[in-house]
């Protein structure tokens, strides 16, 4: 009669606990990831548009500058009064340092101007009447219209300043976006270089990995195990150690140069380290195993007889490889390339240690702005661009893979 209900409840009874088990199984991992990864990353990325340090510490100035335009000239008495009051409060709250830093990020060389102005303002060192004149007399730099428009342009809770800067753009006093002066434009070039280095590394890895993968797959099981261990060995060594070994090997009076000189091949040391060459060598050494393993994993599943069949049908080896082997290896090459490319994009220690100034990749700049100048807004903006780049590459990969598989599947 009411079998349906019984069956359903039995079904639910059988099912619910396992769902809870499933949730419980991933809960610790999920919480850990959210707390230690996603949340901090989101917080950090928010820094790219966060302007609260400036806005919340200059509340009066924000209001006073609301209608000001750079064509109005140096702001009037009310603005100066608001600024002095705000800086005095900031100093009292210990926030003058951060305000000075933010303003300095926009107009370099204004850090001490802000800090000194704040200190004097806190002490009441500026006369109440003719305040503007008073301040300008003590600190003539406040008479710089560029400084004012830089501040006024950016007195919003969310700013595009850092994001623009990360792609070599700026907002001119009229509120239009424009390229930064040529001598300041660096990031687009660094992004381009980062992508280029990553592409080259990925391509070289593919070329080097294919024969090695062939050898591993063709070798007897014992030999294959030894080969795989040899390839794994560098992976078990820390990145830093491997990079430093390359520094030792490649340096001017290192083993390679000494040997070459001893053999009389060269008569003065080659410039090996701090070059693009040394960077490629070190990066490829680290990333090659990932490509090899991705390809081996796929190649192992390809029947050996396919290649034999192709040869027995009269095809030259290379053509057989191109038509039969390569299309079947492609998924492995795609996976390996995705891994190698993404790792290469984020390289930081290796370019810093053995690349020259023209080999620095974007991660080095992110580290520099995070650790050295504490310009987290810019560091975060650069990270966002890198993330954007990754998603772009991922989409291209996905699409090319899709197109490729479609073509082979038909």
Binding site for other proteins (CB under 8 A): 303, 305-306, 308-317, 319-320, 323-324, 327-328, 408-410
Measured in whole angstroms, the distance separating CA 31 from the mean position of its chain's CA atoms is 25
Alpha helices in 219-275 (DSSP H): 221-236, 239-250, 255-262
Partners of 325 in beta bridges? none
Give the whole-angstrom CA distance, residue 272 versus residue 276: 9
CB of 202 to other proteins, least distance (A): 23
Which one, 131 or 310, has the nearer CB to other proteins? 310
Give the whole-angstrom CA distance, residue 113 versus residue 141: 8
Which one, 311 or 367, has the nearer CB to other proteins? 311
CB of 228 to other proteins, least distance (A): 24
CB of 401 to other proteins, least distance (A): 14
Give the whole-angstrom CA distance, residue 326 versus residue 302: 11
Which one, 197 or 324, has the nearer CB to other proteins? 324
CB of 44 to other proteins, least distance (A): 44
What residues contact 64, with CB distance under 8 A and at least 6 apart? 75, 78, 79, 81, 82, 83
Which one, 7 or 306, has the nearer CB to other proteins? 306
CB of 331 to other proteins, least distance (A): 11
Partners of 50 in beta bridges? 158
**Backbone conformation region of residue 4, classed left if phi is above 0, alpha if psi is from -120 to 50, else beta:** alpha
Which one, 121 or 310, has the nearer CB to other proteins? 310
Among 82, 135, 95, 90, smallest CA distance to 113 is for 135
Give the whole-angstrom CA distance, residue 172 versus residue 188: 19
Inter-residue contact 363 to 346 (CB < 8 Å): yes
Which one, 8 or 301, has the nearer CB to other proteins? 301
State the residue for tokens 């993404």.
342
Which one, 176 or 410, has the nearer CB to other proteins? 410
């Amino acid at each position: 009669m009411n079998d349906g209900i019984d069956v359903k409840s039995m079904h639910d009874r059988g099912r619910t606990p396992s769902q809870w088990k499933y949730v419980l199984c991933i809960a610790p991992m999920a919480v850990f990831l959210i707390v230690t990864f996603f949340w901090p990353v989101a917080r950090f990325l928010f820094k790219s548009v966060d302007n609260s340090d400036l806005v919340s510490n200059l509340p009066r100035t924000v209001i006073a500058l609301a209608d000001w335009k750079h064509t109005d000239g140096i702001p009037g008495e009310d603005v100066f009064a608001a600024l002095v009051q705000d800086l005095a409060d900031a100093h009292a709250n210990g926030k003058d340092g951060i305000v000075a830093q933010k303003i300095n990020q926009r107009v370099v060389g204004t850090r001490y101007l802000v800090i000194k102005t704040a200190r004097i303002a806190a002490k009441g060192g500026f006369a109440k009447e003719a305040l503007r004149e008073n301040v300008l007399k003590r600190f003539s730099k406040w008479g710089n219209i560029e400084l004012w428009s830089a501040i006024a342009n950016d007195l919003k809770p969310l700013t595009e300043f850092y994001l623009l800067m990360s792609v070599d753009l700026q907002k001119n006093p009229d509120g239009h976006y424009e390229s930064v002066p040529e001598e300041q434009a660096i990031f687009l070039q660094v992004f381009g270089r980062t992508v280029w280095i990553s592409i080259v590394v990925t391509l070289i890895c593919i070329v080097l990995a294919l024969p090695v993968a062939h050898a591993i797959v063709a070798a007897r099981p014992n030999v294959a195990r030894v080969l795989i261990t040899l390839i794994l060995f560098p992976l078990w060594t820390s990145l830093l150690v491997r990079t430093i070994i390359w520094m030792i090997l490649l340096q001017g009076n290192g083993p390679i140069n000494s040997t070459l000189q001893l053999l009389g091949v060269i008569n003065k040391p080659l410039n090996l380290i701090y070059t693009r060459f040394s960077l490629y060598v070190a990066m490829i050494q680290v990333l090659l195993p990932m490509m090899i393993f991705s390809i081996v994993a796929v190649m192992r599943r390809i029947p050996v007889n396919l290649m034999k069949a192709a040869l027995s049908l009269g095809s030259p080896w290379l053509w057989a490889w191109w038509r039969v082997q390569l299309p079947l290896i492609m998924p492995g090459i795609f996976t390996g390339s995705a891994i190698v490319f993404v790792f290469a994009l984020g390289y930081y220690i290796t370019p810093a240690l053995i690349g020259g100034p023209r080999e620095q990749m974007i991660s080095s700049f992110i580290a520099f702005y995070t650790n050295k100048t504490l310009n987290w807004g810019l560091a975060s903006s650069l990270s966002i661009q890198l993330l954007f780049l990754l998603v772009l590459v991922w989409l291209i990969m996905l699409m090319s893979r899709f197109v490729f598989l479609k073509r082979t599947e038909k």
